[in-house]
Protein backbone atom coordinates (compact mmCIF):
# COMPACT_ATOMS: atom_id res chain seq x y z
CA UNK A 1 0.00 0.00 0.00
CA UNK A 2 1.45 3.38 -0.95
CA UNK A 3 1.92 6.10 1.60
CA UNK A 4 0.02 8.50 -0.62
CA UNK A 5 -3.15 6.50 -0.11
CA UNK A 6 -2.77 6.70 3.66
CA UNK A 7 -2.46 10.51 3.67
CA UNK A 8 -5.78 12.34 3.69
CA UNK A 9 -6.41 14.69 0.78
CA UNK A 10 -6.49 18.33 1.76
CA UNK A 11 -9.31 20.42 0.40
CA UNK A 12 -8.77 23.95 -0.89
CA UNK A 13 -10.45 25.18 2.29
CA UNK A 14 -7.95 23.17 4.38
CA UNK A 15 -4.99 24.65 2.48
CA UNK A 16 -6.32 28.19 2.94
CA UNK A 17 -6.85 27.62 6.66
CA UNK A 18 -3.30 26.27 6.98
CA UNK A 19 -1.88 29.30 5.16
CA UNK A 20 -3.96 31.68 7.27
CA UNK A 21 -2.67 29.99 10.45
CA UNK A 22 0.89 30.36 9.15
CA UNK A 23 0.30 34.05 8.41
CA UNK A 24 -1.14 34.53 11.89
CA UNK A 25 1.75 32.73 13.60
CA UNK A 26 4.77 33.91 11.61
CA UNK A 27 7.24 36.53 12.79
CA UNK A 28 6.15 40.14 12.19
CA UNK A 29 8.94 40.56 9.62
CA UNK A 30 7.61 37.61 7.64
CA UNK A 31 4.01 38.87 7.84
CA UNK A 32 5.28 42.26 6.70
CA UNK A 33 6.85 40.68 3.60
CA UNK A 34 3.69 38.70 2.85
CA UNK A 35 1.42 41.73 3.16
CA UNK A 36 3.82 43.75 0.96
CA UNK A 37 3.06 41.26 -1.83
CA UNK A 38 -0.56 42.42 -1.60
CA UNK A 39 -0.17 46.18 -1.20
CA UNK A 40 2.74 48.60 -1.35
CA UNK A 41 1.53 50.98 1.39
CA UNK A 42 3.86 50.81 4.40
CA UNK A 43 1.11 52.02 6.70
CA UNK A 44 -1.38 49.39 5.50
CA UNK A 45 1.27 46.68 5.86
CA UNK A 46 2.05 47.76 9.41
CA UNK A 47 -1.63 47.94 10.38
CA UNK A 48 -2.29 44.48 8.93
CA UNK A 49 0.73 42.99 10.66
CA UNK A 50 -0.45 44.36 14.00
CA UNK A 51 -4.07 43.27 13.41
CA UNK A 52 -3.16 39.56 13.42
CA UNK A 53 -4.40 36.98 14.27
CA UNK A 54 -7.39 36.66 11.95
CA UNK A 55 -10.09 34.13 12.81
CA UNK A 56 -10.90 33.38 9.19
CA UNK A 57 -10.52 34.65 5.65
CA UNK A 58 -13.60 36.87 5.92
CA UNK A 59 -12.13 38.65 8.93
CA UNK A 60 -8.81 39.06 7.09
CA UNK A 61 -10.57 40.60 4.09
CA UNK A 62 -12.77 42.88 6.20
CA UNK A 63 -9.77 44.03 8.23
CA UNK A 64 -7.81 44.69 5.03
CA UNK A 65 -10.63 46.91 3.77
CA UNK A 66 -10.96 48.73 7.08
CA UNK A 67 -7.21 49.36 7.27
CA UNK A 68 -7.15 50.56 3.64
CA UNK A 69 -9.97 53.02 4.37
CA UNK A 70 -7.94 54.40 7.28
CA UNK A 71 -5.02 55.17 4.98
CA UNK A 72 -4.35 58.64 3.62
CA UNK A 73 -3.91 59.71 0.02
CA UNK A 74 -0.14 59.66 0.60
CA UNK A 75 -0.43 56.01 1.65
CA UNK A 76 -2.45 55.33 -1.50
CA UNK A 77 0.21 56.98 -3.67
CA UNK A 78 2.87 54.81 -2.05
CA UNK A 79 0.81 51.73 -2.93
CA UNK A 80 0.29 52.93 -6.51
CA UNK A 81 4.04 53.42 -6.95
CA UNK A 82 4.63 49.74 -6.15
CA UNK A 83 2.83 48.74 -9.37
CA UNK A 84 4.17 48.48 -12.91
CA UNK A 85 2.43 50.50 -15.58
CA UNK A 86 -0.30 48.68 -17.45
CA UNK A 87 1.04 47.70 -20.85
CA UNK A 88 4.71 47.59 -19.91
CA UNK A 89 6.73 44.40 -19.58
CA UNK A 90 6.55 43.08 -16.01
CA UNK A 91 8.63 40.48 -14.23
CA UNK A 92 6.55 39.97 -11.08
CA UNK A 93 4.46 36.83 -11.51
CA UNK A 94 1.30 38.22 -9.88
CA UNK A 95 1.44 41.33 -12.06
CA UNK A 96 1.91 39.12 -15.12
CA UNK A 97 -1.16 37.09 -14.17
CA UNK A 98 -3.22 40.19 -13.47
CA UNK A 99 -2.20 41.86 -16.73
CA UNK A 100 -2.55 38.74 -18.86
CA UNK A 101 -5.19 40.59 -20.90
CA UNK A 102 -2.32 42.60 -22.39
CA UNK A 103 -0.76 39.46 -23.89
CA UNK A 104 -0.91 39.61 -27.64
CA UNK A 105 -1.97 43.25 -27.73
CA UNK A 106 -1.12 44.89 -31.05
CA UNK A 107 1.67 47.41 -31.38
CA UNK A 108 -0.96 50.04 -32.11
CA UNK A 109 -2.83 49.22 -28.89
CA UNK A 110 0.41 49.25 -26.84
CA UNK A 111 1.36 52.62 -28.35
CA UNK A 112 -2.09 53.97 -27.49
CA UNK A 113 -1.62 52.70 -23.95
CA UNK A 114 1.78 54.35 -23.64
CA UNK A 115 0.36 57.71 -24.78
CA UNK A 116 -2.68 57.45 -22.50
CA UNK A 117 -0.49 56.37 -19.56
CA UNK A 118 1.70 59.44 -20.15
CA UNK A 119 -1.35 61.73 -20.32
CA UNK A 120 -2.74 60.19 -17.13
CA UNK A 121 0.50 60.60 -15.20
CA UNK A 122 0.88 64.17 -16.44
CA UNK A 123 -2.64 65.05 -15.34
CA UNK A 124 -2.80 63.19 -12.01
CA UNK A 125 0.83 62.75 -10.96
CA UNK A 126 0.72 58.97 -10.47
CA UNK A 127 0.38 55.86 -12.61
CA UNK A 128 -2.96 54.54 -13.83
CA UNK A 129 -4.21 51.84 -11.45
CA UNK A 130 -6.83 49.35 -12.53
CA UNK A 131 -7.69 45.89 -11.27
CA UNK A 132 -6.69 44.28 -14.56
CA UNK A 133 -7.65 40.70 -13.71
CA UNK A 134 -10.06 39.38 -16.30
CA UNK A 135 -9.94 42.52 -18.46
CA UNK A 136 -8.80 42.63 -22.07
CA UNK A 137 -6.29 45.20 -23.28
CA UNK A 138 -9.03 47.15 -25.06
CA UNK A 139 -11.19 47.18 -21.90
CA UNK A 140 -8.31 48.53 -19.83
CA UNK A 141 -7.50 51.19 -22.45
CA UNK A 142 -11.17 52.24 -22.52
CA UNK A 143 -11.15 52.53 -18.71
CA UNK A 144 -7.96 54.59 -18.84
CA UNK A 145 -9.37 56.94 -21.47
CA UNK A 146 -12.64 57.33 -19.55
CA UNK A 147 -10.89 58.02 -16.26
CA UNK A 148 -8.69 60.67 -17.91
CA UNK A 149 -11.88 62.77 -18.00
CA UNK A 150 -12.19 62.76 -14.19
CA UNK A 151 -11.18 65.59 -11.91
CA UNK A 152 -8.25 64.83 -9.54
CA UNK A 153 -10.41 64.43 -6.41
CA UNK A 154 -12.66 61.85 -8.04
CA UNK A 155 -9.80 60.06 -9.76
CA UNK A 156 -7.71 59.44 -6.65
CA UNK A 157 -10.81 57.85 -5.07
CA UNK A 158 -11.26 55.67 -8.18
CA UNK A 159 -7.58 54.68 -8.13
CA UNK A 160 -7.76 53.87 -4.40
CA UNK A 161 -10.78 51.63 -5.02
CA UNK A 162 -8.94 49.82 -7.82
CA UNK A 163 -5.97 49.34 -5.47
CA UNK A 164 -8.36 47.90 -2.87
CA UNK A 165 -9.68 45.41 -5.42
CA UNK A 166 -6.12 44.41 -6.36
CA UNK A 167 -5.24 44.03 -2.68
CA UNK A 168 -8.23 41.73 -2.08
CA UNK A 169 -7.36 39.64 -5.13
CA UNK A 170 -3.78 39.32 -3.91
CA UNK A 171 -4.80 38.40 -0.37
CA UNK A 172 -6.84 35.54 -1.78
CA UNK A 173 -3.89 34.54 -3.98
CA UNK A 174 -1.57 34.72 -0.96
CA UNK A 175 -3.72 32.17 0.86
CA UNK A 176 -4.36 29.92 -2.10
CA UNK A 177 -0.88 29.47 -3.56
Helix (H) / strand (E) containing 2: none
Q: Which of 159, 90, 110 is nearest to 131 (CA)?
A: 159
Environment class of residue 161 by beta-carbon count within 10 Å: exposed (0-12), middle (13-18) or buried (19+)?
middle
Q: Which of 164, 177, 176 is nearest to 61 (CA)?
A: 164
Tell me, yes or no, if 58 is annotated catalytic: no
Q: Annotated catalytic residue: which of 58, 83, 108, 118? A: 83
For 176, list phi and psi in degrees, rounded to 5.
-110, -10
Instruction: State how far the alpha carbon of 105 is from the alpha carbons of 5, 11, 34, 92, 144, in Å.
Output: 46, 37, 31, 19, 16
Catalytic residues: 83
Amino acid sequence: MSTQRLQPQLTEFDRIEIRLAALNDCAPETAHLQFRRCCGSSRWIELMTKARPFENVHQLEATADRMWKSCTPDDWLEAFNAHPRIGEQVSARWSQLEQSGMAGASTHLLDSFARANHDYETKFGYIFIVCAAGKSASEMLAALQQRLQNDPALEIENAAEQQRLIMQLRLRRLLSE
